[in-house]
Structure 1
Amino acid sequence: MASVTLKGIKKSFGAVPIIHGLDLDIADGAFVALVGPSGCGKSTLLRMIAGLEELSDGEILFGGEPVDHLSPRDRNIAMVFQSYALYPHMTVAQNMAFNLKIAGLPAAERDKRVADAAKLLELGELLHRRPAQLSGGQRQRVAMGRAVVRDPAVFLFDEPLSNLDAKLRVQMRTEIKGLHAKIRRTSIYVTHDQVEAMTLADTVVVLNKGKIEQAGEPMDLYRRPANLFVAGFIGSPAMNFLSAEIIAADRPTARLQTGETLVLDPSTKVSAGDRVTIGLRPENFVPGNGTNALAGTIKLVERTGAQTHLVVAMAGQDLTVIVDGSLDVVPDMALPASVAPNLIHVFDLNTGARR
């Protein structure tokens, strides 16, 4: 096991900078998810940690020891890719043992490690099958088993569930979470799916254009996003945003462009006249004329079972609102709804930083 430290990491392809002086400390045994939109640099960063991509500048340390000069095979890492990359002519057991055989481990040791990993991942009955005889989820478990048998200090996952259907992704998330709980190895997981990141990781690192926007526990990012980018990226459906002006600071109050007002949490640091962006999460709306009620008209109804997702013409634009699935709602129906002051997010209009 080992901690992972990134110091001033930079990466450029030609004259185009991709990673901009990134610093990150990952504790020994932690599960960290790197999340962000396509092109944010998360996979490039993972490949640099693995040694598959050279640094333009900076330093990578495992357990306090520099590893920049080491080849991938000497860094004691194991990587699970989006593609399973299994040898079709080999059995599951042979696929899992192949890297150990190349490394020169005795047959008895190889067999023991494969057996232990197969028990951990419930692959025992599949060891004599070939990849063509396996489902997508089983193939991904074999790919994970191939990583486990190496007993690495650091696990690296590069969007390993992207090729699976929605139901299987949920199942595999549970298995990956359970695997980490059992082996407690430092794990770095790259994904563009923020739900995947939130459910799997102890720490979520949100990347944007090669920079860290915010890093922290999943619910910290959800409850107190550092800026507009994180607020819009974390949470599904995405947060609603409204332009507003602060009209009172002693009892913080924002006036929307429609003239409606919202009372903010007393701890919000604003001054009268400030131009801000108000963030309202769809799940924080409460139907009815409570404090901070906004008038609205339903435009679209999407029933998902326990919840109903609505598009509501409200505050001069279309907002997403989530209500209880038992509520009887139809298009063109009037729907007043409110958000409690402590659940209203406020961001600087110009910088996007949280106020």
Structure 2
Amino acid sequence: MASVELKNIRKAYGSLDVIHNISLSIEDGQFVALVGPSGCGKSTLLRMIAGLEEISGGEVIIDNAVVNELTPRERNIAMVFQSYALYPHMTVAQNMGFNLKLSGLPKPQIEQRVAEAARMLDLTKLMERKPAQLSGGQRQRVAMGRAIVRNPAVFLFDEPLSNLDAKLRVQMRSEIKTLHQKVKTTSIYVTHDQIEAMTLADRIVVLNQGNIEQEGTPLELYKKPANLFVAAFIGSPAMNLIAGIVEGEGGVPAARLSDGTAIRIAPDRKVRPGQVVTVGLRPEHLTPGGRDGNALAGQTLLVEPTGAQTHVVFDLAGQPVTAVVDGDYAARYGARFEANIASDQVHIFDRGTGLAL
């Protein structure tokens, strides 16, 4: 196992900078997710760590050694890609042990490592099958096994679950998390799916246009997003964002919406009267009824039952706002929907800078 440190990493294609002086420290044994929308630079950053992409500036340090000039093999990392990249003519066992064979490891050691990885990934009964005889989830486990047998210092995952259906993605998320808890190898995981990042990672790094917007634990990013980008990206359904103007009501600050609704703000928010803000309301914090906290109401525009929960979309200040309610709640299209939210659950962002207040 090893720590990973990035110091002022930069990537440019000609005059176009795509990674802007990123610095990041990943502790030995941590599972860190790089998350962000398509084109934000997360896969490019991962490939620079792996040595598959040339670095335009800065240093990549693995296990306290600068590895900028080392080949991917010399960096002692193992990478799991979105495509399984299995040899179709080889069995599961042969695929998993192929890199060890190339490195000249004795056959008994190869067989031992492959058998251990197979037990860990529940592949023992599939060792003589070829990739065409496996499901998508089984193929991905083989790809993971091929990485495990190398005993790398660092695991790199580049959107490994993107090709799987929804049910398999959930299953494989559990298997990847269980695997990390067993081997405790430093892992860096790239995904555009914030649910994957939230469920898998010890720490999340949110990227946008080649910059780090925020890093922290999943709960820190959920409860205290640093800016509008993180607030909108982390959470499902996404946070509701509504324009407002700060007013003082007897010393208690509130954000006044365009329809006159006043949403009280926690007194520790650094706001001033007349400030133009964006109010953030998480759907799961909007509870039916308008008696306690901030009372909000509007016409129901859409009702989406999902089983245990129902998503109710209602009109507030001329825009759709989503609330997550109990699945048994009797919401009706066109009816008046009333909800409330506690002031300490109201997020406030400066409209100009987008920063949390």
TM-score normalised by L of structure 1: 0.99
In structure 2, the residue matched to 1:79 is 79
In 1, Cα distance between the equivalents of 2:289 and 2:114? 59
Structure 1 contact 294–315 (Cα < 8 Å) conserved? no
Aligned to 1:163: 163
Name the counterpart of 1:255.
Answer: 256
Choose which of 314, 317, 324 in structure 1 pairs with 2:316: 314
The Cα of 1:7 is off from its aligned counterpart by: 0.3
Question: Partner letter of residue 350 of structure 2?
Answer: D
Secondary structure, aligned partner of 1:295: strand
2:144 paired residue number: 144
Cα-Cα RMSD? 0.8
2:274, 2:319 → 1: CA distance?
A: 23
Instruction: State the Cα distance separating 1:93 from its structure 2 match.
Output: 0.3
Counterpart for residue 338 of structure 1: 340
Rounded Cα–Cα distance in structure 1 between residues aligned with 2:90 and 2:236: 41
Q: Deviations over 1:287-341 (max 9, x none)?
A: 1112211121111111000100121112221111111100111101111111110
1:57 Cα offset (Å): 0.2
Q: Which amino acid aligns with 1:325?
A: G
User: Is the partner of 2:295 in helix, strand or coil?
Assistant: coil
Secondary structure at the counterpart of residue 112 of structure 2: helix
Deviations 1:253-282 (A, max 9, x none): 111111110111121111111111100011
Residue equivalent to 2:28: 28
Q: Which residue of the partner structure matches residue 283 of structure 1?
A: 284
Q: Which letter does structure 2 place at the counterpart of 1:29?
A: G
What SS is found at the alignment partner of 2:252? coil
Query: Residues 137-186 of structure 1, C-alpha deviation per residue, up to 9 Å, x if partnerless?
Result: 00000000000000000000000000000000000000000000000000
Uncovered stretches (5+) of structure 1, i.e. residues with no partner: none
User: Separation in 2 of the partners of 1:130 and 1:289?
Assistant: 60
Map of 2:300 onto structure 1: 298
Q: Which runs of 4+ in 1 moved over 2 A?
A: none
**Alpha-carbon distance in 2 for matches of 1:88, 1:330:** 54
**Residue matched to 1:323:** 325
The worse-fitting range, judged by mean Cα deviation, of 248-257 and 60-69 is: 248-257
Taking the aligned partners of 2:255 and 2:193, their CA distance within structure 1 comes to 33
Contact 1:298 1:312 in 2 (8 A): yes
The number of aligned residues is: 355
1:190-269 alignment runs, 5 A limit: 190-248=190-248, 250-269=251-270
- How far, CA to CA, are the matches of 1:330 and 1:137 in structure 2? 40
Moved more, 285-294 or 55-64: 285-294
Q: Determine if contact 1:131/1:139 at 8 Å carries over to the other structure.
A: yes
Counterpart position of 1:56: 56
Deviation at 1:87, TM superposition (A): 0.3
SS in 2 for 1:226: coil
Amino acid at match of 1:258: D
Q: How high is the TM-score relative to the length of structure 2?
A: 0.98
Quick one: distance in 2 between partners of 1:216 and 1:284?
A: 22
- Identity of matched residues, %: 62
Aligned partner of 1:75: which letter?
A: R
The 1-side partners of 2:353 and 2:270 are apart by 15
2:337 match: secondary structure? coil
State the partner residue of 2:97. 97
Q: Secondary structure at the match of 1:277?
A: strand
